[in-house]
Amino acid sequence: MYKKVMAGILLAVLLITTAYLMAQDNTGQRDAQGRRGFRQRFGTWLEDIDKAYQANDWDKMGQLIEQMKQDSQRMREAGPPGADRGARVRPQIAAPAETDPVQTKSVVPASEQTIMMVLDDMFQNQRRSMMNVPPEDGKVLRLLTEALGAKTVVEIGTSNGYSGIWFCLALQKTGGRLITHDIDEGRASLARENFKKAGVDNLVTLVMGDAHETILKLEGPIDILFLDADKDGYLDYLNKLLPKVRPGGLILSHNTSMRGQMADFINAITTNPALETVFIHQDAQGLGITLKKR
């Protein structure tokens, strides 16, 4: 009896919350399509919750409520369709054009869908303690790699493979490969799984151990060097690998907002006359883009 009363109260609260969210949604935050999708989704859930309630299925009710909470959170984070998606927002997987006319411009081609789904899943479920680049930096990594037609990308700091998979989005087009380095076996084994799920494991060589040592075996030419490991080690990585980066190649350095911890490195990439550096996304984690001019 007590359980039933509690469930009845819960159901009433849910109905009120949903009505409130729908009313908010009506204030012009989202376009017509967004509103329709929102109503459809929440309407279906309420029906399912009601069914579970009628059937006294408490486990099912709990699951549905949890899903509804998560989806509502995701919709809040995603913002209005077409809006600029910032650091906190997951990479978007657009629905096929015929069912999603509003977002036609961002439709993901078939060859990228598996990778984008894996990236999305990693962003949703793994990013805690993985120290991944945010999606807007991932997009820059991909874009530069593809624009350069890079054949060899060297990454220091694999973690669970998130940034590596962004590189692979481009490398599957350029016919290139990624050589990525990490010292932590736990994260590396997760990376192996993720590379496999994304279908890019054939493009990746994962080198285990202290990268300050393991990179000594690397052979050039390197098209893109991406630094995203121990911040006070960036200068050592640069000194060891700059001779192997080809002229016209790039050195990308993550977390350049932490200037204090990498002052010597920042100094090196901004004062060497053979290098040209710009910094982007400095209001977030920061990404240095350095061209080796000659």
Ligand X SMILES: C[S@@+](CC[C@H](N)C(=O)[O-])C[C@H]1O[C@@H](n2cnc3c(N)ncnc32)[C@H](O)[C@@H]1O
Is residue 222 a contact partner of residue 190, using CB atoms and an 8 Å limit?
no
Q: What are phi and psi of 275, to 5 degrees?
A: -120, 150
CB of 205 to ligand X, least distance (A): 14
Interaction between residue 194 and ligand X (CB under 6 A): no
Q: What angle do CA 152, 157, 159 make, to 5 degrees?
A: 115
Interaction between residue 286 and ligand X (CB under 6 A): no
Interaction between residue 183 and ligand X (CB under 6 A): yes
d(CA 213, CA 209): 8
| Residue window 86-125: x/- pattern of binding to ligand X, with contact defined by CB under 6 A | ----------------------------------------
Among 271, 254, 97, smallest CA distance to 166 is for 254
Contact with ligand X (CB under 6 A) among 145, 159, 253, 285 = 159
Interaction between residue 154 and ligand X (CB under 6 A): no
Is residue 122 a contact partner of residue 148, using CB atoms and an 8 Å limit?
no
Is residue 48 a contact partner of residue 65, using CB atoms and an 8 Å limit?
no
Of residues 219 through 238, those in contact with ligand X by CB under 6 A are 228-230, 233
Contact with ligand X (CB under 6 A) among 108, 131, 284, 289 = 131
Interaction between residue 162 and ligand X (CB under 6 A): yes
Residues 6+ apart with CB under 8 A from 65: 10, 14, 49
Q: Which residue has the tokens 């890019």?
A: 200
Q: Which residue has the tokens 């060859």?
A: 111
Per DSSP, the three-state class of 248 is strand
Token pair in block for residue 149: 């037609």
Contact with ligand X (CB under 6 A) among 18, 132, 256, 290 = 132
Please say which residue, 64 or 168, places its beta carbon nearer to ligand X: 168
Please say which residue, 45 or 195, places its beta carbon nearer to ligand X: 195
CB of 111 to ligand X, least distance (A): 22
Binding residues for ligand X, rule CB under 6 A, total 19
Please say which residue, 52 or 118, places its beta carbon nearer to ligand X: 118
| Chain residues that interact with ligand X, rule: CB under 6 A | 131-133, 157, 159, 162-163, 181-184, 187, 210-212, 228-230, 233
